[in-house]
Protein backbone atom coordinates (compact mmCIF):
# COMPACT_ATOMS: atom_id res chain seq x y z
CA UNK A 1 0.00 0.00 0.00
CA UNK A 2 1.52 3.30 -1.10
CA UNK A 3 1.62 5.92 1.65
CA UNK A 4 3.28 8.93 0.00
CA UNK A 5 5.87 10.02 -2.52
CA UNK A 6 9.26 10.74 -0.99
CA UNK A 7 11.53 13.68 -1.64
CA UNK A 8 14.62 12.50 -3.39
CA UNK A 9 17.09 13.01 -6.18
CA UNK A 10 16.29 9.95 -8.28
CA UNK A 11 15.43 11.84 -11.46
CA UNK A 12 14.97 8.70 -13.57
CA UNK A 13 12.61 6.88 -11.21
CA UNK A 14 9.76 7.33 -8.77
CA UNK A 15 10.45 6.81 -5.04
CA UNK A 16 7.54 6.18 -2.68
CA UNK A 17 6.99 5.09 0.92
CA UNK A 18 4.74 2.03 1.16
CA UNK A 19 3.53 -0.48 3.72
CA UNK A 20 3.69 -4.25 3.32
CA UNK A 21 0.09 -5.25 4.11
CA UNK A 22 1.20 -8.77 5.06
CA UNK A 23 3.76 -7.80 7.71
CA UNK A 24 2.89 -4.15 8.39
CA UNK A 25 6.51 -3.24 7.64
CA UNK A 26 7.26 0.13 6.05
CA UNK A 27 9.40 -0.02 2.94
CA UNK A 28 10.73 2.25 0.21
CA UNK A 29 9.80 1.41 -3.37
CA UNK A 30 11.75 2.57 -6.42
CA UNK A 31 9.86 2.18 -9.69
CA UNK A 32 10.17 3.09 -13.34
CA UNK A 33 8.06 2.51 -16.43
CA UNK A 34 9.03 -0.37 -18.68
CA UNK A 35 8.92 2.14 -21.52
CA UNK A 36 11.48 4.43 -19.81
CA UNK A 37 14.59 5.03 -21.93
CA UNK A 38 16.86 4.12 -19.00
CA UNK A 39 16.94 0.95 -16.92
CA UNK A 40 18.30 2.52 -13.74
CA UNK A 41 15.90 0.78 -11.35
CA UNK A 42 16.77 -2.61 -12.87
CA UNK A 43 20.49 -1.83 -12.61
CA UNK A 44 20.18 -0.29 -9.12
CA UNK A 45 18.58 -3.43 -7.68
CA UNK A 46 21.03 -5.83 -9.38
CA UNK A 47 24.12 -3.93 -8.22
CA UNK A 48 22.79 -3.64 -4.67
CA UNK A 49 22.04 -7.38 -4.60
CA UNK A 50 25.58 -8.14 -5.87
CA UNK A 51 27.13 -5.98 -3.17
CA UNK A 52 24.96 -7.32 -0.35
CA UNK A 53 25.97 -10.86 -1.27
CA UNK A 54 29.65 -9.96 -1.50
CA UNK A 55 29.86 -11.66 -4.88
CA UNK A 56 32.88 -9.67 -5.97
CA UNK A 57 35.06 -10.93 -3.12
CA UNK A 58 36.52 -14.38 -3.66
CA UNK A 59 36.96 -14.95 0.05
CA UNK A 60 33.25 -14.38 0.77
CA UNK A 61 31.18 -17.57 0.94
CA UNK A 62 27.95 -17.64 -1.07
CA UNK A 63 26.18 -19.96 1.32
CA UNK A 64 22.51 -19.36 2.24
CA UNK A 65 22.21 -17.12 5.24
CA UNK A 66 25.66 -15.57 4.86
CA UNK A 67 25.58 -11.93 5.95
CA UNK A 68 28.23 -9.43 4.83
CA UNK A 69 29.73 -7.03 7.35
CA UNK A 70 27.90 -3.80 8.08
CA UNK A 71 29.07 -1.66 5.20
CA UNK A 72 26.41 1.02 4.88
CA UNK A 73 24.18 -0.64 2.28
CA UNK A 74 20.37 -0.71 2.54
CA UNK A 75 18.69 -4.09 2.95
CA UNK A 76 16.47 -5.34 0.12
CA UNK A 77 12.91 -6.31 1.01
CA UNK A 78 12.52 -10.10 1.06
CA UNK A 79 10.18 -9.98 -1.95
CA UNK A 80 13.02 -8.50 -4.06
CA UNK A 81 15.95 -10.60 -2.87
CA UNK A 82 15.91 -12.76 -6.00
CA UNK A 83 14.26 -10.61 -8.65
CA UNK A 84 12.61 -7.35 -9.65
CA UNK A 85 8.84 -7.04 -9.23
CA UNK A 86 6.65 -6.33 -12.26
CA UNK A 87 3.58 -4.19 -11.63
CA UNK A 88 1.10 -1.93 -13.41
CA UNK A 89 -0.41 1.42 -12.58
CA UNK A 90 -3.25 3.38 -14.14
CA UNK A 91 -2.37 6.56 -15.99
CA UNK A 92 -4.59 9.32 -14.54
CA UNK A 93 -4.77 11.17 -17.86
CA UNK A 94 -5.54 8.31 -20.26
CA UNK A 95 -6.82 5.52 -18.02
CA UNK A 96 -4.34 3.08 -19.59
CA UNK A 97 -2.51 0.43 -17.59
CA UNK A 98 1.21 1.20 -17.60
CA UNK A 99 3.63 -1.69 -16.90
CA UNK A 100 6.38 -0.90 -14.40
CA UNK A 101 9.40 -2.57 -12.81
CA UNK A 102 10.21 -1.91 -9.17
CA UNK A 103 12.03 -3.09 -6.09
CA UNK A 104 11.66 -2.42 -2.39
CA UNK A 105 14.25 -1.79 0.32
CA UNK A 106 14.39 -0.80 3.96
CA UNK A 107 13.35 2.67 5.07
CA UNK A 108 16.30 4.90 5.97
CA UNK A 109 16.46 8.39 7.40
CA UNK A 110 17.25 11.84 5.99
CA UNK A 111 20.06 12.48 3.52
CA UNK A 112 23.27 14.38 4.15
CA UNK A 113 21.87 16.97 1.75
CA UNK A 114 19.05 17.67 4.20
CA UNK A 115 21.51 17.71 7.10
CA UNK A 116 23.47 20.40 5.27
CA UNK A 117 20.31 22.46 4.71
CA UNK A 118 19.56 22.28 8.43
CA UNK A 119 23.19 23.06 9.39
CA UNK A 120 24.38 25.51 6.72
CA UNK A 121 27.68 26.13 8.53
CA UNK A 122 28.57 22.45 8.63
CA UNK A 123 28.45 19.66 11.16
CA UNK A 124 30.57 19.21 14.32
CA UNK A 125 34.08 17.90 13.63
CA UNK A 126 33.45 14.69 15.61
CA UNK A 127 30.36 13.92 13.52
CA UNK A 128 32.24 14.52 10.25
CA UNK A 129 35.07 12.21 11.36
CA UNK A 130 32.61 9.45 12.28
CA UNK A 131 30.72 9.82 8.99
CA UNK A 132 34.00 9.93 7.05
CA UNK A 133 35.19 6.63 8.50
CA UNK A 134 31.88 4.93 7.71
CA UNK A 135 31.70 6.26 4.16
CA UNK A 136 35.32 5.34 3.43
CA UNK A 137 34.72 1.79 4.68
CA UNK A 138 31.57 1.53 2.55
CA UNK A 139 33.32 2.88 -0.54
CA UNK A 140 36.22 0.46 -0.02
CA UNK A 141 33.74 -2.42 0.15
CA UNK A 142 31.98 -1.31 -3.05
CA UNK A 143 35.28 -0.97 -4.91
CA UNK A 144 36.57 -4.31 -3.60
CA UNK A 145 33.48 -5.91 -5.14
CA UNK A 146 34.34 -4.50 -8.55
CA UNK A 147 31.98 -1.52 -8.80
CA UNK A 148 32.24 2.26 -9.00
CA UNK A 149 29.28 4.23 -7.67
CA UNK A 150 29.75 7.10 -10.18
CA UNK A 151 27.26 9.47 -8.49
CA UNK A 152 28.73 10.35 -5.09
CA UNK A 153 26.94 13.36 -3.57
CA UNK A 154 25.20 14.28 -0.28
CA UNK A 155 21.75 13.31 -1.60
CA UNK A 156 22.92 9.70 -2.04
CA UNK A 157 24.08 9.26 1.56
CA UNK A 158 21.25 8.52 4.00
CA UNK A 159 21.39 8.36 7.79
CA UNK A 160 19.75 5.92 10.17
CA UNK A 161 20.54 5.22 13.81
CA UNK A 162 23.88 7.01 13.71
CA UNK A 163 25.04 5.08 10.61
CA UNK A 164 25.48 6.33 7.04
CA UNK A 165 24.21 4.37 4.04
CA UNK A 166 25.02 4.68 0.34
CA UNK A 167 22.07 4.47 -2.06
CA UNK A 168 21.22 4.90 -5.75
CA UNK A 169 23.41 2.58 -7.81
CA UNK A 170 21.49 3.34 -10.99
CA UNK A 171 24.57 4.45 -12.94
CA UNK A 172 27.16 2.36 -11.08
CA UNK A 173 29.81 0.83 -13.32
CA UNK A 174 31.56 -2.52 -13.04
CA UNK A 175 35.27 -2.19 -13.64
CA UNK A 176 38.32 -4.40 -14.01
CA UNK A 177 41.78 -2.99 -13.51
CA UNK A 178 44.49 -3.67 -16.01
CA UNK A 179 48.06 -3.58 -14.76
CA UNK A 180 50.89 -2.61 -17.05
CA UNK A 181 54.22 -0.85 -17.18
CA UNK A 182 55.25 1.97 -19.46
CA UNK A 183 57.23 0.60 -22.42
CA UNK A 184 60.45 2.18 -21.11
CA UNK A 185 59.97 0.54 -17.69
CA UNK A 186 58.89 -2.99 -18.58
CA UNK A 187 62.30 -4.46 -17.79
CA UNK A 188 62.88 -2.45 -14.62
CA UNK A 189 61.62 -3.12 -11.10
CA UNK A 190 59.10 -0.81 -9.50
CA UNK A 191 55.37 -0.26 -9.10
CA UNK A 192 53.03 -1.05 -11.94
CA UNK A 193 50.45 1.43 -13.20
CA UNK A 194 46.79 0.65 -12.72
CA UNK A 195 44.04 1.77 -15.07
CA UNK A 196 40.37 0.95 -15.37
CA UNK A 197 38.82 -0.70 -18.42
CA UNK A 198 36.06 1.95 -18.46
CA UNK A 199 36.04 5.07 -20.54
CA UNK A 200 34.44 8.24 -19.19
CA UNK A 201 30.68 8.38 -19.77
CA UNK A 202 29.69 11.93 -18.85
CA UNK A 203 27.02 10.58 -16.47
CA UNK A 204 26.61 11.71 -12.87
CA UNK A 205 25.84 15.02 -11.22
CA UNK A 206 27.96 17.83 -12.64
CA UNK A 207 28.38 19.68 -9.33
CA UNK A 208 29.97 16.63 -7.73
CA UNK A 209 31.96 15.06 -10.55
CA UNK A 210 35.70 14.58 -10.27
CA UNK A 211 37.85 16.59 -12.65
CA UNK A 212 38.80 13.31 -14.37
CA UNK A 213 35.15 12.41 -15.01
CA UNK A 214 34.54 15.89 -16.41
CA UNK A 215 37.30 15.26 -18.94
CA UNK A 216 35.84 11.79 -19.68
CA UNK A 217 39.14 10.17 -18.68
CA UNK A 218 39.14 6.39 -18.03
CA UNK A 219 37.12 5.74 -14.89
CA UNK A 220 38.62 4.41 -11.68
CA UNK A 221 38.29 4.61 -7.91
CA UNK A 222 39.31 8.27 -7.96
CA UNK A 223 35.95 9.13 -9.62
CA UNK A 224 34.30 8.15 -6.32
CA UNK A 225 37.02 9.27 -3.91
CA UNK A 226 37.40 12.85 -5.16
CA UNK A 227 33.70 13.74 -4.81
CA UNK A 228 33.64 11.93 -1.45
CA UNK A 229 36.36 14.37 -0.36
CA UNK A 230 34.16 17.23 -1.60
CA UNK A 231 31.25 15.88 0.46
CA UNK A 232 33.35 15.67 3.65
CA UNK A 233 34.72 19.17 3.05
CA UNK A 234 31.21 20.57 2.69
CA UNK A 235 30.09 18.71 5.82
CA UNK A 236 32.98 20.36 7.68
CA UNK A 237 32.58 23.94 6.45
CA UNK A 238 29.08 24.18 5.01
CA UNK A 239 30.37 25.19 1.57
CA UNK A 240 32.96 24.34 -1.02
CA UNK A 241 35.74 26.83 -1.89
CA UNK A 242 34.34 27.57 -5.36
CA UNK A 243 30.87 28.15 -3.91
CA UNK A 244 32.27 30.84 -1.62
CA UNK A 245 33.99 32.50 -4.57
CA UNK A 246 30.77 32.60 -6.58
Coil, helix or strand at residue 130: helix
Beta strands in 106-223 (DSSP E): 147-148, 157-160, 163-166, 173-174, 177-180, 193-196
Cα separations in angstroms, 98 against 40, 89, 92, 127, 134: 18, 5, 10, 44, 40
Q: Which of 44, 49, 151, 224 is catalytic?
A: 151
Burial of 42 (0-12, 13-18, 19+ CB in 10 A): middle
Confirm whether 26 is a catalytic residue: no
Distance of CA 243 to CAs 81, 111, 112, 223, Å?
42, 20, 18, 20
The DSSP letter of residue 203 is -
Contacts of 171 (CB under 8 A, 6+ apart): 40, 43, 150, 151, 201, 203, 204
> Is-contact 108 76, C-beta < 8 A?
no
For the annotated catalytic residues, the residue numbers are 151
Amino acid sequence: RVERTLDGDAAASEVVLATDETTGEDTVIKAELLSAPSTQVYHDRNVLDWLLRGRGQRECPLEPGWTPPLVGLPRLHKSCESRLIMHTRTDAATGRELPMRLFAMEVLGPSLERALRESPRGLPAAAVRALGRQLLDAMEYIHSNGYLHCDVKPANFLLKGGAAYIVDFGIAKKFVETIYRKPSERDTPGPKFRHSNLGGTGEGTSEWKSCFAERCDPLGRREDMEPLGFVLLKLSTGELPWEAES
